[in-house]
Structure 1
Amino acid sequence: MSYIADNIKEVEAKIAAAAQRSGRKREDILLLAVSKTQTVETIQQAVACGLTSLGENKVQEIMDKYEPMGNGVHWHLIGHLQTNKVKYIIDKVDMIHSVESLKLAEEIEKRAASKGIVMDILVEVNMADEESKFGITPDNTLEFVKILAKMEHLRVRGLMTVAPFVENQEDNREYFRKMRQLQVDINAKKIDNIKMDVLSMGMTGDYEVAIEEGATIVRVGTGIFGARDYSNKEK
């Protein structure tokens, strides 16, 4: 357990320093522990250190871990979500970070309505225009948000992006800065039912720069748990 506790301490220090540099408080930023491929026992070590918000890329992993982890954690679905999987996690997650199509939004709306809940969502933006990444274009984000604003069982809390993998995190600063500006621009339109206060951006390799540019959620996996072991995962 010691290495996880040590890793968390290091990440926390970096988050606090980046928050200070950007004129914000540490509590303004949520550290989302990305627990994909990790065992329940390993995740519990992070939870014991105070990380109760967990991010998973795959619906199946949330399904496998939901009961064993119990009620003390908050799940976020951060990976690509297929419409036929929405029904499995609609009442299990606090937030869906990866809404990037009308079809998916309509399915979330339908499933949330059937459960009598309002689902917090983020719009995934492909800020770097990478072919390998999901997300809508920055130019289409405003019109997409306007459509989502009319759905009664969705609450658009903000934007999410997966920045390119880079050796030097400074290389992603421009994308994070543009994300923040996009959020500001959309909020300035004063769309009914839309007041976005969440920016989910920054991962293990670049979360410090993301925080400096306005991130309110950073998604850190290997920085907490170490290198992932995919050997026993066929999912």
Structure 2
Amino acid sequence: MVLTIDQLKDRLAHVQERIKDAAVRSDRAAEDIVLVAVTKTQSIETLQLAYDAGIRTVGENRVQEVNAKWPSFERRFEWHLIGHLQTNKVKYIIDKVALIHSVDSLKLAKEISRQAEKAGIIMPVLIQVNPAEEESKFGLASDEVVTLVKAASALPGIKIEGLMTIAPFVEDEAFLRQVFREMRQIFDQLKTEVIPGVEMKYLSMGMTHDFEIAIEEGANMVRIGSGIFGERQ
């Protein structure tokens, strides 16, 4: 099905209303929640519709897709790299993205810092955590996060701005809340520690199937794809 601008606007408005309601339930304002529209696998034409609908922050999973879409839009969008990032591909997106969500090792942090220094920038990053310790997902175990944050924060080319997780795709709301609460606890713990180069600004968690629960448990950045664009082709 070809998405029309009116359909996209309607879906976007519906998602924004759900974000607002979830924010109210957690005693926050909708303006406190950053919506990252996940555009992986979406065409240039769909991205243009997204832009026309008012979307300005987009998330891509793959370096190749960022590079393929970048020439058509450049900095009209704020691009986030939300998928796993290999060290040998950092150089291809370091001058294009505004935030890397998926730092899960000191090796990767060092390469981002190195490439950022070469580009004359400081790259904001989030540390990816896997509190459920799912083997199919990247990210640190909860007890490894503080150690990596302290080590990576000393690197000159990056600034740690928060944490990210991809929760298990399950219907068990109690379990999801447990995962999100654990993330919030780590986030709050790091907020209390004064670490140079670290600002716990974003807690990126929640996708189309669970973003309302994530917001209720403390997320202030959500990544929504199919809720806006429909099921991926």
TM-score (norm 1): 0.95
Residue matched to 2:34: 30
User: What percent identity do the matched residue pairs reach?
Assistant: 50
Residue matched to 2:147: 143
Residue matched to 1:107: 111
Alignment of 1:192-207 (within 5 A): 192-207=196-211
- Say whether the 8 Å CA contact 1:87–1:111 is kept in structure 2: yes
- Say whether the 8 Å CA contact 1:169–1:205 is kept in structure 2: no
**Number of aligned residues:** 229
Alignment of 1:77-156 (within 5 A): 77-156=81-160
- What's the secondary structure of 2:137's corresponding residue? coil
Task: Output the amino acid matched with 1:90.
Answer: I
Residue matched to 1:185: 189
Cα 1:170–1:219, aligned 2, differ >3 Å: closer, same or farther?
Answer: farther
- What's the secondary structure of 1:187's corresponding residue? helix
Q: Which runs of 5+ in 2 are unaligned?
A: none
Quick one: which of 1, 4, 9 aligns to 2:8?
4
- Say whether the 8 Å CA contact 1:170–1:209 is kept in structure 2: no
What root-mean-square deviation, in Å, do the aligned CA atoms of Structure 1 and Structure 2 show? 1.0
CA distance in 1, matches of 2:139, 2:221: 17
CA distance in 2, matches of 1:42, 1:192: 40
CA distance in 2, matches of 1:119, 1:173: 30
1:55 lines up with 2:59 in the alignment: yes
Greater Cα shift, 128-137 or 163-172? 163-172
TM superposition shift of 1:193: 2.5
TM superposition shift of 1:206: 0.2
1:39 lines up with 2:28 in the alignment: no
> What is the CA deviation profile of residues 135-183 of structure 1, one whole-angstrom value per residue up to 9, with x for unaligned ones?
0111010011000110111100000000000235454111111111101
- What's the secondary structure of 1:70's corresponding residue? helix
Task: Output the amino acid matched with 2:97.
Answer: V
- Say whether the 8 Å CA contact 2:74–2:96 is kept in structure 1: no
Task: Output the amino acid matched with 2:24.
Answer: Q
